[in-house]
Amino acid sequence: MLGLMQEWPLTVDRILDHAAKNFSHREVVTRNVESGQLTRTTYEAIWKRAKQVTNALQGHGVRLGDRVATLAWNTERHMEVWYGAMGMGAVLHTVNPRLFPEQIAWIINHAEDQILFFDTTFAPIVDKIAPLLTTVKTYVSLTDRDHAPKLNSTHVVAFEDFIAGQPYDARWGGFDENTACGLCYTSGTTGDPKGVLYSHRSNVIHAMAANQTDCFGAGANDVVLPVVPMFHANAWAIAFVAPMCGAKLVMPGAKLDGQSVYELLEGEKVTFTAAVPTVWLMLLNYMQENKLKLSTLKRVAIGGSAVPERVLRAFEQDYGVEVIHAWGMTEMSPIGTIGKLLPEHYASDEESQIKAKLKQGRALFTVDMKIVDDEGREKPHDGKAFGRLLVRGPAVARSYFKNAGAKNERGECLEACGFFDTGDVATLDELGIMQITDRAKDVIKSGGEWISSIDIENIAVGAEGVANAAVIGVAHPKWDERPLLIIEPKPGAQPTKEQLLAFLDGKIAKWWMPDDVVLTEKIPLGATGKINKLALRETFKDYRLPSTQAAE
């Protein structure tokens, strides 16, 4: 027997409809990409212009399910394209401009994007890739005619000309809530980028979950500054959350440096903001250098990579701003867990609270998590045992666009037993707080048990004379793998194997002790500053541990 409630598909056009109707005059402030000056508009105006975008898209032949790409900063025009495309059932494909031009071209071709909207700052990229693009028919520069760039390789339309004269009315929604809505590619360390295809339903449910009080908790009296870009997993849902709750929205455009962000925070009286740690390091440095304070900011969401302790302490202890440590993945829409403390934490001392906040946090409602061993058996929630982190929920990907990477590195389907394998290894403690301990592929598997490379590295970097430390698994005839400790010494230092192992002794389990230590001039780092373990594994793939000889 079915319930007798109304049909009201969860489509994202309803979010902007709600804002235009209930918060029509609420401001959306943007730092203009060309001038750096602030422009001001409202949800009602964005709604009207988004309807114009819909009409213009349809005039250019875009239909339900067609992909439309943006190469753009957070601006009011990006919001207009966002809702104008999604509202009619086209798929808004946010492209990350930080990728190599060849990757961008590959992604746009793979997505078969019909139209490319781009900010003027990205004109050089577009000029370079246009000859490579096989499906894009129209290039729209997100500006007016005076500022639109002229490119050698292709004709460019100014956004204001693109929508000029279009009616303020267009039909939105009216399709199945599972209709594709957004597309975002994620690039791993190996293989081609893979597209995550969000649905209207997943975006609406995720936004409602992400804005619960214990997560972002924004309301109509908040002023929200998403420094995290819309091309970075939907600006962590904020492009949906802010109009849903009627918050004033502040869009930073192209300027994410400390001074620019500070000016927006103070000038627009921002109460809630979100970005990756790098942005906050720039802001904190700027404020410290100029002896500045924050007068309105209450909460800052930090994700993308783990919150550094000094960033946490600076915000909470020096500036009185609550840090919300968030963890997620593009495949999770993206928020999976949130570091909001529980009554049990508040009952303990401040240092314990800081420690708890450095973990990745607890699952939102609509996110199921578990940690399992290689056979899929659940590991205990004791904060010590670690296992592969599997997740499930209405806003978690079940496969990639065009079935790319449908199997994981072990040849299993992405959605084995209904869960998505995050590729991370994590612990869960008694309170349900999750902590990432390693990437699954970096875990060392010794005699059927797992050794966390990151745990050993974190201790080893504390040893005298060590600039950086990496641990990788090296093949072993008896144990499958055993850990090899690779040390980059500080200039002039020359720590010995005996000194280093003595330093580790007592700090890690006996059977975690590296079988050997090698010194290297420079430990290779990836683009994001993390240790490039792939390169290390390649370098040391034929390395023979002393214990191997003994075992043979």
Residues classed as catalytic = 186, 331, 445, 450
Token pair for 480: 């499958």
Comparison of 51 and 206: residue with beta carbon closer to its own copies:
206
Indicate which single residue of 1, 152, 165, 552 sits in contact with its own copies (rule: CB under 8 A): 1
Question: For tokens 């079940």, what's the residue?
Answer: 398
221 versus 288: smaller Cβ distance to its own copies? 221
Angle of CA points 473, 474, 479, to nearest 5°: 90
Indicate the residue among 150 and 269 with the shorter CB distance to its own copies.
269
**Contacting range for its own copies; rule: CB under 8 A; set: 9-17, 114-122, 302-310, 484-492:** 9-17
What strands, in cross-sheet order, belong to the sheet with 91-94? 91-94, 67-71, 115-118, 138-141, 157-158
Q: Does 15 bind its own copies (CB under 8 A)?
A: yes
Question: If binding is defined by CB under 8 A, does position 299 make contact with its own copies?
Answer: no
Q: Does 322 bind its own copies (CB under 8 A)?
A: no
Task: State which residue, 87 or 97, has the beta carbon closest to its own copies.
Answer: 87
Axis-axis angle for helices 497-504, 453-460 (nearest 10): 110
How far apart CA 21 and CA 19 sit, in angstroms, is 5
Q: Which of 40, 310, 313, 398 binds its own copies (CB under 8 A)?
A: 398
| The 3-state secondary structure of 308-339, one letter per residue | CHHHHHHHHHHCCCEEEEEEECHHHCCEEEEC
Nearest approach, Cβ of residue 22 and its own copies (Å): 4
User: Among residues 91 and 460, whose Cβ is nearest to its own copies?
Assistant: 91
Footprint of its own copies on 378-397 (CB under 8 A): 392-397
6 binds its own copies (CB under 8 A): yes
> What distance, in Å, lies between the first and last C-alpha atoms of the chain?
67
Query: With binding defined as CB under 8 A, does residue 486 bind its own copies?
Result: no
Tokens of 186: 């994620």
Residues 152, 190, 213, 295: which binds its own copies (CB under 8 A)?
213
For its own copies (CB under 8 A), the number of binding residues is 72
Residue 414 and residue 411: Cα distance in Å, rounded? 9
Residues 219-258 within binding reach of its own copies (CB under 8 A): 219-221, 244-246, 248
Binding residue (CB under 8 A) for its own copies from 35, 36, 61, 64: 64
DSSP string, 234-282: GGGGHHHHHHHHT-EEEE-BT--SHHHHHHHHHHTT--EEEE-HHHHHH
Nearer to its own copies, 276 or 356 (CB): 356
In the range 100-129, which residues lie near its own copies by CB under 8 A?
none
Given 83, 262, 400, 450, the residue binding its own copies (CB under 8 A): 400
The answer to whether 489 touches 519, Cβ cutoff 8 Å, is yes
Contacts of 485 (CB under 8 A, 6+ apart): 456, 460, 469, 470, 471, 500, 514, 516, 517, 518
* Binders of its own copies in range 410-449 (CB under 8 A): 415, 418, 420, 432
Q: How many CA atoms lie within 13 A of 499 on its CB side?
A: 14
- Restricting to residues 128-187, name those near its own copies by CB under 8 A: 176, 178-181
Tokens 């190996």 sit on residue: 190
Tell me how far, at minimum, the Cβ of 106 lies from its own copies, in Å: 19
CA 55 distance to own-chain centroid: 31
Q: Of the candidates 200, 359, 476, 482, which one interacts with its own copies according to CB under 8 A?
A: 200
> Between 142 and 223, whose beta carbon lies closer to its own copies?
223
Pull the structure tokens for residue 447: 């005699």
Nearest distance from residue 209's CB to its own copies, in Å? 7
- Token pair for 219: 């309301």
Among 102, 365, 412, 505, indicate the residue that binds its own copies (CB under 8 A). Answer: 365
> How is residue 457 annotated by DSSP?
H
Between residues 6 and 295, which has the closer beta carbon with respect to its own copies?
6
Binding track, positions 341-360, relative to its own copies; x by CB under 8 A: xxx--x--------------
Which two structure tokens, joined as six digits, stand for 261? 């962000």
